[in-house]
Amino acid sequence: MQHRRPTSRRRIIAPAAFVAAALAVTVAGSLTYASASDRPRHHKPSARPAASPSVAPAITASASRSASASVSASTPASAPVSASASVSAGNGYVMAPDPVTNVTPSNLVPEHKLFHEFQANCAVSRTNLPDDPIVFPKLPGASHSHTFIGNTTTNADTTPASLSAGATKCLAKGDLSAYWMPTLYKGDKAVNPVGVQTIYYKTGVNDYTSVRPFPKGLRFVVGNAKNTDSAAFLKATVEGFECGDSYKNADIPATCPSTASTQLNIRYQAPSCWDGIHLDTPDHQSHMAYPIIKDYPIGAVCPDDHPVALPMLEFKMAWPVNGDMSDIHFASGRGYTFHYDFMNAWDPATLQALVKACINGGRQCNARGYDERESPSTAVLTTGYVLP
């Protein structure tokens, strides 16, 4: 299949603009926690008013696709989108071996559920390495310093295949994915998150039953290491940088409470609509898009040029810094240069089971795949965090 390059931008909304209105934003945690704010608690959805639709950071673009297959995005996904062997088309394009084409974004309005999510609970696996296998593949030392989470083998030479042969610091043994972000510094000393961090897998669209698992090998970058627009950064977060009672900060606050329990937190949401064709594109972003908002009652839907609804990642990180924050910065610069990278290497069966039970099922699941208000017997994974 001949690929076609994305050609034009479209007006979209940043995730925080619709999550507050159309989806439940929760801060539930599970098991071992990096901070007290991660302990299990089941919040009511935020009552914050919806923000006005706005243009998100430059992440999306139109993508043409062939009609070689017929798959409806409006029906529940019963099987993962597979990518057993990605195909490089040159110039930075990586083609999905099993493209999802001829898809119509779902306008269905399913039964209302407050929650539709599960957690990946993962710890730091490699620290302070100047590698980036998405932006600078096979070029060790070419990037600013990154802190790696999840897979223990991630480096400049990482591929989806090498991740699948590796090990993980995630509780779910089937999550061999790589997650990484710029290293945080206090002066010239690196500061890393302590303990298990929370990465939410949520619905980004109103029809949570239409969300499919990530195709294996999908990779993308969320945010911009060279960003100078603090307002644009803030729109893609839930509450901006948070510490103590301070929140909605587009940059790292100058001060935070000096109490031992206070940490610097961020919750940053990724685009969740896929073009169905590319596992990667030259800018590592154009194959993904944020949902758009349609009139009530349809709400958040994927745009026509990125019609495949995938899980929305919400990166929730906590760093043990407080007090005087004047010398706190990322390897990439100011707070609004924060970004993260993702390369999917989930065991397909494990990811499929969690998406089906928790996102499609409209539940608020922990890392084992069950709602802690329900019996543990409903868990997707065993106490060893594997499929039974």
Burial class (CB in 10 A: 0-12, 13-18, 19+), 230: middle
3-state secondary structure of 20: helix
Of 290, 193, 185, which is closest to residue 235 (Cα–Cα)? 290
Distances (CA, A) of 146 to 65, 85, 126, 185: 34, 27, 9, 11
Burial class (CB in 10 A: 0-12, 13-18, 19+), 128: middle
The type of residue at 271 is: P
Cis peptide bond prior to 297, omega within 30° of 0: yes
pLDDT-derived band at 86 (thresholds 50, 70, 90) equals low
Instruction: Give me the pLDDT at residue 220, please.
Output: 98
Q: Is pLDDT at 25 greater than 60 in this prediction?
A: no
pTM metric for this prediction: 0.81
- Residue 295 CB neighbour total at 10 angstroms: 6
pLDDT, mean of residues 148-165:
98
Q: Which helix (H) or strand (E) is 21 found in, with range?
A: helix 15-22
Query: Comparing 76-80, 191-195, 308-312, which segment has the lowest mean pLDDT?
Result: 76-80
Q: What is the pLDDT of residues 293-337, one digit of tens each?
A: 999 999 999 999 999 999 999 999 999 999 999 999 999 999 999
d(CA 246, CA 239): 9
Q: Which helix (H) or strand (E) is 351 found in, with range?
A: helix 348-354
Contact 267, 316 (CB under 8 A): yes
Q: Is pLDDT at 127 greater than 80 in this prediction?
A: yes
Q: What is the DSSP string of 175-222?
A: B--EEEEEPEEETTEEE---S-EEEEEE--SS-GGG--PPPTT-EEEE
Instruction: Give me the pLDDT at residue 88, please.
Output: 61
Distances (CA, A) of 87 to 51, 112, 211, 235: 40, 39, 24, 34
Give the single-character DSSP code of 356.
I
pLDDT-derived band at 52 (thresholds 50, 70, 90) equals very low
Q: What is the DSSP string of 132-154?
A: -TTTSTT-TT-S--EEEEEBTT-
> Half-sphere exposure (CA, 13 Å, Cβ side) for 68?
12
Of 243, 245, 226, 224, which is closest to residue 235 (Cα–Cα)? 224
Q: What percent of the chain has pLDDT over 70?
A: 77
pLDDT-derived band at 68 (thresholds 50, 70, 90) equals very low
Contact 299, 22 (CB under 8 A): yes
Helix ranges, 206-302 (H): 230-235
